[in-house]
Each structure stands twice: as C-alpha cells, then as structure tokens.
Amino acid sequence: MNGYQRITAALRGEQPDSTPVMLHNFMMAAHEAGISMRVFRSDPRELARAFVESVEHYQYDGIVLDVDTATLAGAVGVPVDFPEHEPARTRGSLLHSLDDLQRLPHDNFLNYPGIRVWLEAASILSETFGNQVFLRGNCDQSPFTLASLIRGMDGWLMDLCDPEREAHAHALLEYSTGITCMFVRAMAATGVHMISNGDSVAGPELVSPSIYQRYALPYERRVAACAHEQDLPYVLHICGNTASILPDMLTTGADGLEIDYKTDAELAHTLMMNRCVFIGNLDPGGTLALGSTASVAQRTRELLTTFADTPRFILNAGCAIPPPTPPENLRTMIAVAREFHP
C-alpha cells in the first residue's frame, strides 16, 4: 500500500498493511527546507517544496497542509503580525463590541494573499503526489475560534457569559461559519483528500463543556457537513485535554478527531472505538522534540498497542511538531509504526 491507500483504509475501517502516519509538521518542514516562516507563508512553491522534501526524507503517509492560525482572521481585517521565523499571529481584535457586527466586511476573502498561497500550495501538492501521498487540507480556524479572534478573546468570553449577548454571539458565529465554509469549499477544489479545522479556543481548558455545547458544537457540525458536501472526509482538532467533551465531539459528524497529547489515549480509544478515526497523540514537545529515541519508541509502541484492536487509527503528534525536533526521533516513530504487529 502507498500512503494514500493506508490512510484511506483507516478512514473506511479497513486494515492497512501497516499503521498509517500523518505528520502535523509544517514548522519543522519549513525549518528543514531552509526557509523562514515568512517565505513559507508567502511563496506557495517554497511551501510545497518543504512538504515534498519532508515526505522524501521521512517516507510518511499523509501531509497536514497547515500554515498558521491567523489567516482567516487576517482576511476579515483582524490585525496580524508576521514574524520572520514564526507563524503569523493575531494582534488585537476587529470588534470592540458585538453591537458593531454591521461593520464586518463581506468581501471576496479568497483574494486575501494568505488564502491564495495556501490554496495554490495545495494544488501543487495535489498535482505532485496524486493518489500516492494523502493530502489533508487544513482550513485554519473553526467558527468559534475565528469568532474569538474577530471579537478579541477577553471580550468574547465575557459576551458568552451575558444572556443578553447570546443572539449577537450567534450572529458572529454565523458570519464566521460562512467564512470557514468558503475556505473549505475552495480547499476541496484543489484536489486534497481531506478537510480539517482547529477549534482550540472551544476546548475545556478555556471554556466550559456547556459553552462548547451551546456555542461551538452546532457550528462544528455545519463545517463537517460542508466538507461532506464536497465528498471529502473531515477531521476536527481541539487542543488540550478534551476528555470532558469527547462524547460531544463524536456527534460533529467528523470522520476523524486529531486528539491532543493531554487527552488520555485509552479513554479516547474506548469512546471512539468503531465510531471515528483517532489521529494522534504523541506529545510533540516532551516526547518528540525533547525525548530520547528510546522514549519515542516506547511511547509509540504504547500508543500502537492501545489501538491494536482497531484499524481506525492514524499515528501523529497530538499537535504541531516543533521545528528543532531531532530527525532521528521522527524516523524512530515511523520505523516503530512500520514494524509494529499487534
């Protein structure tokens, strides 16, 4: 089997010939390709080259095409900083109050340079790999997190505690959903094999499960449905320990959940068994970046053993892999996955 076939088998609940590996390694790929994050996010050919060379070096099965978590926010006018050697990040907010919703722009956001680069790189990678390597097109932020960037985190969290602001909050979430789904449809047209989003602000480390259920979950379901309307599978990622909302996440319609390393893998296995593909969840910092090859091998075997009774498993880090991660640690992780037999 090739990489595309392995990951497709896992999504279908069929047994691949070895454990599929999908790496969330965009920063490391840029670092190893010798390009800054500024070049990575502004030159689609260099962006694509970084991933091509990474696949050639490590022989993994699936690419997570990611750039940063500020692209959609920047497209609507949220102030963004563009560091030379780090991903872009938002600075401040666009709305001082939810009473200002009428000020939100309704432009053709696909003309935003960051979005154009992301989509062009996806097209290049799709043409390069075809159905040999699986290509997951990440589409930046889910509606809840995008709304928090537009409004500003402090103001957004205060709004969600005010019953009189609920209708306005949902209006902003509707607006954000339209932008996210616009990106999903455009990404699907590039030839990627899967769509994904992150909704990290919606996790239990920032908001309560009840807030998640009321304000994030309904819109995550709509984004998953949008991906399925494009005939593509969908993956959702939420940072942090998501144990308390995993049952809810399983109702989004997502075909896979990329689980953070802070979430107990055995609990996730129990809850997700035969329902959804588990993607993750090695610690990208403590294990992959800072651990020894022996500890990487041990943790990888432990995770593979936990999921040995199901084909619905894709090995990955639990979040983005840091740039200075030792190459031998990634090679060890992948070698253990290739050699593992339950």
Residue 217's nearest CA partner among 260, 244, 172, 248 is: 248
Amino acid 341: pLDDT: 81
Does the model's pTM come out above 0.85? yes
Give all domains of the chain, ordered by start, each with its CATH number. 3-339 (3.20.20.210)
pLDDT by residue, tens only, the chain of 342 residues: 999 999 999 999 999 999 999 999 999 999 999 999 999 999 999 999 999 999 999 999 999 999 999 999 999 999 999 999 999 999 999 999 999 999 999 999 999 999 999 999 999 999 999 999 999 999 989 999 999 999 999 999 999 999 999 999 999 999 999 999 999 999 999 999 999 999 999 999 999 999 999 999 999 999 999 999 999 999 999 999 999 999 999 999 999 999 999 999 999 999 998 899 999 999 999 999 999 999 999 999 999 999 999 999 999 999 999 999 999 999 999 999 999 987
Amino acid 236: pLDDT: 98
C-alpha–C-alpha distance, residues 304 and 267, integer Å: 14
Q: Which residue has the tokens 């259920």?
A: 213
56 Cβ neighbours under 8 A, 6+ residues apart: none
257 Cβ neighbours under 8 A, 6+ residues apart: 235, 236, 237, 246, 249, 250, 268, 272, 276, 277, 278, 279
Amino acid 140: pLDDT: 86
